[in-house]
Amino acid sequence: MSLVSSVCTVDLPLQAADVEPESLLPIARRGEVDVALALRHAGPRRVRLRYEVAGDASAPAVFVAGGISAHRHVFANAADASRGWWESQVGADRSIDPTAHCVVSFDWIGADGTLDAPIDPADQADAIVALLDHLKIRRLHAFVGSSYGAMVGLQLASRHPARVQRLVAISGVHRAHPYSSAWRALQRRAVQLGALQCDGVDGLVLARQLALLSYRTPEEFEERFGAAQVREGRVHVPAEDYLDHAGQSYASRTPVDAFLRLSESIDLQDVAPESIATPVTLVAVEQDRLVPLADAYALAQRLRGETRLRVLRSRYGHDAFLKEHDAIAAILDEALAAEVAA
Amino acid sequence: MSLVSSVCTVDLPLQAADVEPESLLPIARRGEVDVALALRHAGPRRVRLRYEVAGDASAPAVFVAGGISAHRHVFANAADASRGWWESQVGADRSIDPTAHCVVSFDWIGADGTLDAPIDPADQADAIVALLDHLKIRRLHAFVGSSYGAMVGLQLASRHPARVQRLVAISGVHRAHPYSSAWRALQRRAVQLGALQCDGVDGLVLARQLALLSYRTPEEFEERFGAAQVREGRVHVPAEDYLDHAGQSYASRTPVDAFLRLSESIDLQDVAPESIATPVTLVAVEQDRLVPLADAYALAQRLRGETRLRVLRSRYGHDAFLKEHDAIAAILDEALAAEVAA
């Protein structure tokens, strides 16, 4: 076991230029780098990688990746004091603590909306390796991926086993389920339907709303929303207000082509679990409507390395990683502290 | 117990004009009648009821109703030799046998696309009573409803208990689940999105495809469909071919406003189980993604009359009533033969 190999290099000094004087936010920097990638479907391309590195640069490096709508800004830090998408798990006194870890993250390739061909979770793993090369990180202490991030983490462990010491894969597995793929294909149809109009945003709003239904559960909707009503001659369902807000918020910050590329990319997930010898902590959620529990069981049985499977029950289904703070924290604490055989 | 009260009147002779000479199809006739209804949201209206009556006119009358895409043509008969939507359960030597029953059915109000205001399952029940009056059927031996038909059957038993002796309610309950309502609301959004274009059909196609996902299950898709592929620069999901065929077929035979009215109508389902004293056989499917098993349990506990709950396991989920021929037949045989206390 060699912890030194998973430490961020110190010859890239972190900058704290954006830190306000009174700020106690963790030191961090953002950067961009153009790299050459051999994309599996799009061919050779130069792709811009946008990253954020935060915390103790001399500490073990932990790469954090979320779903297709996640991005490099994981938690509030000196480079960006706004809230990140995983404040519950990353930050001072959280499981991924920037005083104990060097936290690395990036924007998915395709997320800027400039790619015109399918990308694959394997492409993302290759892009991550290019980023680690740029950052001179030889080996990650851990890759912690949720949803699409878990899929990419499995690809990373399969394709580049020397670059990652352990993997935490939450609510993402080795394949896309055919039913979930059909659901996503219809979301992309909604985008196409919207694209036939002048205003292409409505299609993306609907696509996101449909996706949200797959991320959440009937149990949650039962608690939150009441019965339909007739309003001004049409039937109004209470959940529509929530879905409208969420869909419009997403569409306002997401290029249509970013959604299409990343949605497609999930459906291209295909990695042989037998090719992975890295220690893996799998987290599955019984109520997940996108990733059936049976697929997590199959993955756990087929991985070659030390494997731990944690099954949660959650009314938040696929989105449990964003909501079940304590349960996820306990799993992360254990996984990140575990000894890994050399 | 009074079986005579559930017999079709014989003073409306059945006509066999369309029967081909060699045909052995059950005698049947189709008809239309305009009735005045006090619709709960649309107000007083004259509505045209389109019905089919088949089988032995002197036998106990069984009303058969299916989902929102079902119609009066339940099985091949002398009035229409084409296949109906429930051949597996209705016909010679089936559970609902036209030599032993007078089979009554109609097109849902709203199904002709002419209604411009919300309709309610209670409106459908009132329409059925108007039809029974026209046909001089004082009391049904049984109402057998699946999906939306089950919802309407519960309304009939609640609002017009004298008109139905027993109810079989398959995969439909006393309310719409908030999650399922959200799913349907997004289907209606797809129609709206399509309506902004010249070609409104694409929106209805997408709406139906989304509905199909709610009718079926991951288990079935797992068996039928393989992994996504890249075809001519875009990601193609194998289930898309099936969904395209199904969506286009539906849209080619369904007015957009028919879909909207009937989809909305499901969301307006609201009947107090405590108001129902009619004997009810409930059928629920563990894999149903639209009608959670918990709602069927709640309904069974709250009904006032003799209640039997049958729970099926089926890879066809909500559509089990169209696919699980033997299991449904066994339940119908038992329910239709059961003695009912006077």
DSSP A140-162: BSEEEEETHHHHHHHHHHHH-GG
Give the pLDDT band (50/70/90) at residue B14: very low
**pLDDT for the residue numbered B249:** 97
Query: Which of A193-197, A261-265, A323-327, B257-261 is predicted with the least confidence, judged by mean pLDDT?
Result: A193-197
The larger pLDDT score, comparing residue A258 to residue B56, is at: A258
3-class secondary structure, A29: strand
Distance from CA of B234 to the nearest CA of A (A): 6
Q: Quote the Cα angle for B45-B51-B52, to 5°.
A: 175
Contacts of residue A264 in chain B, CB cutoff 8 Å? 228, 234-235
pLDDT in tens, A285-313: 999 999 999 999 999 999 999 999 999 99
Residues of A within 8 A of B243 (CB-CB) are 182, 185-186
Calculate the average pLDDT of chain B.
92
Q: Is position A160 annotated as part of the catalytic site?
A: no
Average pLDDT over residues A143-156: 98
Average pLDDT value over all residues in chain A:
92
Chains A and B: how many Cβ contacts under 8 Å? 158
pLDDT score recorded for residue A340: 64
Q: What percent of chain B has pLDDT over 70?
A: 92
CA A113 – CA A96 distance, rounded (Å): 30
- Put simply, the answer to whether B178 touches A237 (Cβ < 8 Å) is yes
Using CA atoms, how far apart are residues A226 and A98, in angstroms rounded to an integer?
A: 42
* pLDDT for A6: 45
Map tokens 């288990």 to a residue: B219
Least confident stretch, A178-187, A333-342, B37-46, B139-148: A333-342
pLDDT band per the 50, 70, 90 thresholds, residue B23: low
- Put simply, the answer to whether A186 touches B210 (Cβ < 8 Å) is yes
Point out the residue among A177, A218, A268 whose CB comes nearest to the CB of B177: A218
Question: A197 contacts in B (CB within 8 Å)?
Answer: 193, 196-197
Q: Residue A141 above 80 pLDDT? A: yes
Instruction: Note whether B84 and B73 are within 8 A (CB).
Output: yes
Looking at CA atoms only, how far is residue A91 from chain B in angstroms? 34
Whether residue A71 lies in the annotated active site: no
Task: Verify whether residue A93 is a known catalytic residue.
Answer: no
Q: How far is CA A24 from CA A28, A86, A95, A128, B212, in A?
A: 12, 19, 18, 29, 52
Residue A213: pLDDT above 80?
Answer: yes
Chain A's closest residue to B116, CA to CA, is: A233
SS3 B285: strand
- Catalytic one among A97, A202, A288, A319? A288
- B338 pLDDT tier (thresholds 50, 70, 90): confident
Nearest to A181 among B181, B194, B228 (CB): B228
pLDDT at residue B10, rounded to an integer: 36
The alpha carbon of residue B104 is apart from the nearest alpha carbon of chain A, in Å, by 30
Residue B245 has pLDDT above 70, yes or no: yes
Mutation site, B40, B119, B186, interface A, largest A CB count within 10 A: B186
- Name the residue among B194, B224, B234 with its Cβ closest to that of A118: B234
What chain A holds in terms of domains, given with CATH numbers, is 3-176+268-337 (3.40.50.1820), 179-266 (1.10.1740.110)
Q: Determine whether the interchain pair B239/A182 forms a contact, defined as Cβ–Cβ distance below 8 Å.
A: yes
> What is the per-residue pLDDT for A19?
44
Looking at the predicted structure, is the pLDDT value of residue A13 above 70? no
Residue type at position B279:
P
The pLDDT value recorded for residue B236 is 96
Whether residues B194 and A190 touch (CB distance < 8 A) is answered with no
What is the predicted pLDDT for the residue at B198?
63
- Whether the Cβ atoms of residue A121 and residue A72 lie closer than 8 Å to each other: no
pLDDT band at B316 (very low <50, low <70, confident <90, very high): very high
Q: Is the pLDDT of residue A22 over 50?
A: no
Rounded-to-integer distance, Cα A68 and Cα A107, Å: 9
Residues of A in contact with B184 (CB under 8 A): 237
Q: Which residues of A touch B209 (CB under 8 A)?
A: 186, 189
CA distance A64 to B278: 58
CA dihedral A283, A286, A290, A293 (to 10 degrees): 70
pLDDT at site B150: 98
The minimum CA-CA distance between B237 and chain A, rounded to whole Å, is 6
d(CA A144, CA A166): 9
* In the predicted structure, residue B340 carries a pLDDT above the cut 70: no
Residue B200's pLDDT is: 73
Residues A57 and B169: their CA atoms lie apart, in Å, by: 64
Choose, out of A119, A120, A173, A181, the residue to mutate when testing the contact with B (most B CBs < 10 Å): A181
Distance of alpha carbon A52 from alpha carbon B342, whole angstroms: 76
Residues of B in contact with A174 (CB under 8 A): none
Nearest to B269 by CA among B188, B191, B181: B181
pTM of the model: 0.92
How many other C-beta atoms can be found within 10 angstroms of the C-beta atom of residue A27?
18
Q: Which residue intervals of chain B are DSSP H helices?
A: 121-135, 148-159, 178-195, 201-215, 218-224, 239-253, 256-267, 293-302, 320-323, 325-337
DSSP state of A266: H
Sheet with strand A307-312: strands edge to edge:
A28-39, A43-55, A102-106, A61-65, A142-146, A167-170, A280-285, A307-312
Q: Taking CA atoms, what residue in A is nearest to B236?
A: A185
